[in-house]
A = this chain, B = another copy of it.
Amino acid sequence: MIDTIRELAKKTDEKILMVVLDGVGGLPLELGGDTELASAKTPNLDALARTSQLGAVELVAAGITPGSGPGHLSLFGYDPLRFVVGRGALSAVGIGVKLSAGDVAVRGNFATLMDGRIIEDRRAGRPSDAKNAEIVATLRGTIQTINGIPVEIYTESEHRFVVVFRAQGTPLGANLSDVDPQETGVAPLVAAGHDEASTPTAALVNAFVAQAEVALKGEPQVNGVLFRGYSDVPHFPSFQDIYQLRAACIASYPMYKGLASLVGMDVLDVQGEEDALQGKVDALKTHWAEYDFFYFHVKKTDSTGEDGDFAAKVKKIELFDALLPQLLALEPDVICIVGDHSTPSKLSTHSWHPVPLLIRSQYGRRDPAVRYTEDEALNGSLGLRRGTDVMPLLMANALKLQKYGA
């Protein structure tokens, strides 16, 4: 599909604003009740819905709960079953580390080793993030390069950290076996390269393991490292190229900025702490003239769902609603409001349920929707669809797709 869209896409002056309310889809606490969206007081969204087209979107496939990566890739038009971001790369992206061609990112766990290098705990007792940062500082003090390859070490969270090997000329391969045996009572495995380009990477990994154990000898609990999931830089066709769009990302958290950057969007500076909603709106206003596609990310609708806090999620939806008039005042030719997955407070985690999709342009048919809710979405004129349908629909509504065939 992406190749067809690329052939049909054309530059126009129309502007598209895609608002992703992270994890916005929900569930009623009791069967038959109201979801978070249905409970929220959203006069501005309601008014918008009355002249919009609604639909329901499955990001990956029926029954599949999307992670943030696959959810967003789907919204950007990349089939998440085909375009896969490796664990190491996603971790790097998630903490804001840029990868270049030839680099390898590796996901690591701190572990507790007993005498004879036998693994006692694969997660080193789940250290605090602060302890993790302290250990990372120790390792940075002793490991800067291995075999002439610069090595970067980053805290992810708890027992998780990320190592990036920076290729010098020759690209490093990422096709090698794990150090993590995924069980306790045995020693860490020795990594082996599965192809020529990955043999030097395996040597780097094995040297890192040995040097880290020396550096962490004095530590009672965090005294070993395990590696699982090696990735080179995922090379996706460029968003700007496929859609002929000057595209910008407005987000606060590294994961979302990283994903947008991965597909080739410009990542704009956002002022403010945490979700920084007003800072995002300000960035949008500042750069409105420069781009014709904006991906505008709102995080807290997801975080409150993950916390299992129904009332707080309702509040975050209402906060966004209060902000909406500022977005509409910019008069985007096409505005889309959608989620990258559902995060029902009832489940305190992502879920498989479809997310409501709203598209407003001058070219919509009559639609029964009077609110932006899950119920209305399922009744909407856009039907139940895959997430990869969203970008083609936005492009069409912006009159940016030529006719297919004569």
Cα-based distance from A285 to B163 in the complex (angstroms): 54
A329 at the interface (CB under 8 A from B): no
Closest to A93 in B: B406
Which of B4, B28, B353 is A64 in contact with, Cβ under 8 Å?
A: B4
Please determine whether A366 and B33 come into contact, CB atoms closer than 8 angstroms. Answer: yes
Please determine whether A90 and B363 come into contact, CB atoms closer than 8 angstroms. Answer: no
A272 at the interface (CB under 8 A from B): no
Closest to A32 in B: B366
Please determine whether A28 and B365 come into contact, CB atoms closer than 8 angstroms. Answer: yes
CB contact list, A74-128 vs B, under 8 A: 80-81, 84-85, 87, 90-91, 94
A214 at the interface (CB under 8 A from B): no
Interface-lining segment among A131-139, A192-200, A290-298, A343-351: A343-351
Please determine whether A406 and B31 come into contact, CB atoms closer than 8 angstroms. Answer: no
A172: min CB distance to chain B, Å: 22
Cα-based distance from A393 to B61 in the complex (angstroms): 10
A337 at the interface (CB under 8 A from B): no
Please determine whether B90 and A401 come into contact, CB atoms closer than 8 angstroms. Answer: no
Per assembly, the copies of the chain total: 2
Cβ–Cβ < 8 Å partners of A365 in chain B: 27-28, 35, 353, 374-375, 378
Please determine whether B374 and A378 come into contact, CB atoms closer than 8 angstroms. Answer: no
A1 at the interface (CB under 8 A from B): yes
Closest to A80 in B: B405
Please determine whether A64 and B8 come into contact, CB atoms closer than 8 angstroms. Answer: yes
Please determine whether A60 and B404 come into contact, CB atoms closer than 8 angstroms. Answer: yes
Closest to A31 in B: B51
Please determine whether B381 and A63 come into contact, CB atoms closer than 8 angstroms. Answer: no
Closest to A51 in B: B31
Instruction: Given A69-B405, A406-B87, verify A364-B31 contact (CB < 8 Å).
Output: yes
A392 at the interface (CB under 8 A from B): yes
Instruction: Given A375-B366, A383-B383, verify A67-B403 contact (CB < 8 Å).
Output: yes
Please determine whether B62 and A393 come into contact, CB atoms closer than 8 angstroms. Answer: yes
Closest to A68 in B: B406
A356: min CB distance to chain B, Å: 11
A70 at the interface (CB under 8 A from B): yes
A381: min CB distance to chain B, Å: 5
Cα-based distance from A406 to B396 in the complex (angstroms): 30
A66 at the interface (CB under 8 A from B): yes
Could you pull out 12 A-B pairs where Cβ atoms are within 8 angstroms? A31-B364, A62-B389, A63-B401, A69-B405, A69-B406, A70-B405, A80-B404, A91-B406, A350-B403, A351-B396, A365-B374, A378-B381
Q: Taking beta carbons and an 8 Å cutoff, which residues of A are in contact with B?
A: 1, 4, 8, 27-28, 31-35, 50-51, 56, 60-70, 80-81, 84-85, 87, 90-91, 94, 344, 346-347, 349-353, 362-366, 374-375, 378, 381, 383-385, 389, 391-397, 401-406
* A84-B405, A365-B374, A366-B375 known, 6 other contacts, Cβ within 8 Å: A60-B404, A65-B404, A67-B405, A85-B405, A94-B406, A383-B383
A-B pairs, top 5 by smallest CB distance, nearest first, are: A63-B392, A67-B405, A62-B389, A383-B384, A63-B396
